[in-house]
Amino acid sequence: MRHHHRPVFARIYARLSGPMEHGGMAEYRDRTLAGLSGRVLEVGAGDGANFPHYPSGVSRVVAVEPEPYLRARALERAETVGVDVDVVEAVAEDLGFADGSFDAAVATLTLCSVDDQDRALREIYRVLRPGGQLRFFEHVRAESAPMRAVQRSLDATVWPHVAGGCHTGRDTQAAVEATGFQITQVDELRFPDFRLNTPVTRHLLGTAVRP
C-alpha cells in the first residue's frame, strides 16, 4: 500500500471541516448523496463528514481512507450516525473488493488527490455493478486559459506537497468519461463562492453510470 501518512495536512483538514460545512459544503454533500440506496463505496472518506448525509435507503457504506489520523476520526464518526458504516484502510487505486460488489460509489474532494486518477477510476468502475452510479463532487480544471496556467504551475510545484497530494487542475469529467462511465448529470458550481476566482473555485457535482 502507498504511504499516505500526512499528519500535518490531516489535522489542518479536520480543523477546516467545520467552516467548510457551514460555508455550503453540507448542502453539496446532501445533493451528492441524495437518492442513493443499497451498498455504497465511499473513496477517500476523510474524517467521515459525508456519513450523516447518507439517506436511509443505503444499507451499508464501506468507507475507504488511507490516512491514519483521518481514518481514526472517521471511525469515531461512524459510531454516531444512523447508517451502517465500515471504515477500512485502502487506497483508491487498489480497492481489493470483488467485481460488481457495490451499487454506488462516492467521491467528494477525492479524485483531485489520488496518486493515479485513471487507475482509481478504473478500480471504482470494476467494483460497481452494471447500472451502478458514481456520484462525485470535485474541484476541477478552470475554464480560462490564465487560470489553467496558474493551476499547472501550482500542481507542478508546491500545491500537492502542502495540500495532501491535491491537484488543482485535473480534468475529472473527461477522466470519468474515458473510463467508460456515462455521465447522466453534471452541475458546475463555485465553491467557496468568493467574488474572485481561485485555482480551486470551479467544482463539478455529477452522476455517472457504469453501463
pLDDT in tens, 163-180: 999 999 999 999 999 999
Within a 10 A sphere around the Cβ of 135, how many other Cβ atoms?
Answer: 22
* Res 90 pLDDT > 60: yes
170 Cβ neighbours under 8 A, 6+ residues apart? 111, 112, 117, 138, 140, 141
* Chain length of the chain: 211
Average pLDDT over residues 56-67: 97
Q: Which three cell numbers stand for residue 6?
A: 500526512
Across the chain, mean pLDDT equals 93
pLDDT of res. 1: 45
Single pTM value for the model? 0.92
- Exposed, middle or buried: residue 56 (CB in 10 Å: 0-12, 13-18, 19+)? exposed
The helix (H) or strand (E) run that includes residue 112 is none
pLDDT at 71 over 80: yes
High-pLDDT (> 90) share of the chain, %: 85
